[in-house]
Amino acid sequence: MLFSDLKLSQPLQKAVELQGYTAPTPVQAQAIPAILEGRDMLAGAQTGTGKTAAFTLPMLEILSRTRPKTPHKVRVLILTPTRELAAQVAESVKTYGQFMPFKSAVVFGGVGIHPQIAMLKKGVDILIATPGRLLDLVGQEALDLRHVEMFVLDEADRMLDMGFIKDIRRVITILPAKRQNLLFSATYSDEIKTLCESILRNPVTVEVARRNTSSELVEQRVIMVDCARKSALLGELIQKHKWEQVLVFTRTKHHANKLSEYLEKIGIKAAAIHGNKSQSARTKALADFKAGSVKILVATDIAARGLDIDALPHVVNFELPNIAEDYVHRIGRTGRAGNKGEAISLVCIDEHDYLAGIERLIHRKLNREILAGYEPDPTIKAEPIQQGRGGKGGNRSSRDRGQSNAGNKSHASTPQQRDNRPRNSVQKSRGR
């Protein structure tokens, strides 16, 4: 299929051509015609599948086909779970709509509300928002959502994970009853099903193959190593193989910071990206990473979601995620667009259960490697991650998911602290 088969108007075709896209991705090929017909939609698609264009292109087309009854009112509302994703969707709306007259705006928390109020006063057609800030703006009567024709819920599963369900329900009560609804979700749980039933009317379902779950493009490696030695091993791997662009995942913000500080200390340009960082710091870290001045981006799962980074050669699970699904999201960051990629997981004894859960999910047993000089110490016993070294990470249902484990008093809880101690002292400190 070609983009020209999708019956998009000239300004959109031109924008797509400028992006260098030759053919629609599977989710685009399925979603665009149905959205253009005005159908509600449930789309099972992850970041990297081209889902943003899958809803943005037909949305712009629909806007261009009708004249609004009241000009300068929000006609499309796109909700995203994170600021990063909101900013990236806004960027895509601008890119694809560059030859169209629509005004778009993005609002999210963590930055001043007043410039956003001023911007909204001028009138926007398309609003991209995170739920909390959207409701703040509604509360301040800075926003009129009575003219919304299309409502897009992007990464709905993440929204629920992050505890936004009440906010979503409140937003829905504000929107006009007659509207087109599009819901995108990478996973399909009972909660998502309930949400769909309450939002979508006679929806078309679009399902694209899970990206990379069984992709031969991603080589999955598991290296068994003691927790205390993971930082040193990672530093060595980066230096030895001269890796230039690596996305590294940790379970907590605190660990992301500590690891990035450690890497900097040994002379590897690194930056951490997570929810406690200011928006400008996150934007800068991402820009530096894309430009190559930062080689290692250390991220929590939430912060990494929706990051628009193409075809990374290496993804490292410094710590395995406590939700097996996140492993699939993480490794999907590599091996994209026909490029080969490598996903390396550093697994310590505490994480064996996580590894088993991942293997069950992907229906595959992963080969365990041991690297010379980093052999796991057989005398070390597993400790529960929630209370022990791995830091807090079990509570994924609150907004605090992935928060710093600063409250965790375990002395051996940070990668750097653990790495800085001689090996035998690690053992001694472990008796409880």
Locate 176 and state its tokens. Answer: 């006009």
Minimum Å gap between C-beta 88 and ligand AMP is 7
Please pick, from the candidates 15, 44, 48, 237, the single residue that binds ligand AMP as defined by CB under 6 A.
48
21 or 102: whose CB is closer to ligand AMP?
21
Q: Does 81 bind ligand AMP (CB under 6 A)?
A: no
- Of 48-56, 119-127, 232-240, 262-270, the window that binds ligand AMP (rule: CB under 6 A) is 48-56
Please pick, from the candidates 6, 42, 49, 312, the single residue that binds ligand AMP as defined by CB under 6 A.
49
Contact 206, 43 (CB under 8 A): yes
Q: Does 47 bind ligand AMP (CB under 6 A)?
A: yes
Q: Is the dihedral of CA 292, 319, 301, 406 positive or negative?
A: negative
Number of neighbouring beta carbons within 10 Å of residue 267: 8
Binding mask 293-322 for ligand AMP (x = CB under 6 A): ---------------x-x------------
Please pick, from the candidates 13, 25, 283, 387, the single residue that binds ligand AMP as defined by CB under 6 A.
25
Question: In this chain, which residue has its C-beta nearest to ligand AMP?
Answer: 52
Please pick, from the candidates 6, 8, 15, 24, the single residue that binds ligand AMP as defined by CB under 6 A.
24
Distance CA 28, CA 33 (A): 9
Within 3-22, the residues that bind ligand AMP by CB under 6 A are: 21
Contact 165, 159 (CB under 8 A): yes
Q: How far is CA 70 from CA 66, 141, 146, 271, 318, in A?
A: 12, 18, 10, 46, 52
Q: Does 415 bind ligand AMP (CB under 6 A)?
A: no
Distance CA 207, CA 185 (A): 10
Q: How far is CA 139 from CA 124, 190, 192, in A?
A: 18, 31, 27
Residue in 146, 147, 155 with CA at minimum distance from that of residue 182: 155
Locate 367 and state its tokens. Answer: 């080969």
Number of residues that bind ligand AMP (CB under 6 A): 13
Minimum Å gap between C-beta 425 and ligand AMP is 45
25 or 64: whose CB is closer to ligand AMP?
25
53 or 159: whose CB is closer to ligand AMP?
53
Distance CA 416, CA 259 (A): 6
Residue numbers of the site for ligand AMP (CB under 6 A)? Answer: 21, 24-25, 28, 47-53, 308, 310
